[in-house]
Structure 1
Amino acid sequence: MKGIVGDEDTNGVGLRVIDNNDVSHGIHVAFDGEITYHEQGGYPDKAANRTAEGNEHVEQARRFAQYYVYVDRRYDTVPSTDHPERINAVRLAIRELNDTEFEALFGDLQT
């Protein structure tokens, strides 16, 4: 995937994303990460009319756009469940737990 940041307006950032099939996507990412505009010409517009692979490419382009704006412009556009710094913070917090604390919090999840 490739990204090129375009204009920024009062609502967010526009960019061009080239997906792994070389399809060009015009995407606008709001400052909170919401995708407010997405156009492309390589797949059907309606998700129901796309193949599973086509849907995956469209979704990957949207997620890549959020991440690219986060990296390039430092706006918090990545969902918290995918945010690399937040995931690392959780990893570091878990690493600091002693065995008793870990067992109390996560014992029922261990296999």
Structure 2
Amino acid sequence: MLTDKDMAMDSLEATKHFVSELTKAAMECSNPSLKNTITQMRNRTEQSQQEIAQITQSKGWYMPSPPADHSDIQRTQQFFNQPMQQMPSPQMGRDMQQMHPQYGGPIRYQ
């Protein structure tokens, strides 16, 4: 028999997964109306996930990662704020001969 803790933790993991999958679906969607609907669903699911996380934390069943250190936050912000020109780009030739992770063949760049 499932306990309240089991059900709450299963719900927490499921909502985390749903948020991730809905985010991917919205990113891939070409229909603006459908994309908006999926984004709204994702936002509601994320809100539910936060509520479940708060409940599980209050019961002592779930402990999230500790907050990031201020210097880690600054370093991450600086990394993502740097201009795209400073980001490393793949070299033509060998670097472009990466294998496609799903199909095992070379990735074709156009």
TM range (shorter): 0.3 to 0.5
Relative to the length of structure 1, the TM-score reads 0.34
Instruction: Name the structure with the higher strand share.
Output: 1
Structure whose residues are more often helix by fraction: 2
TM-score, structure 2 normalization? 0.34
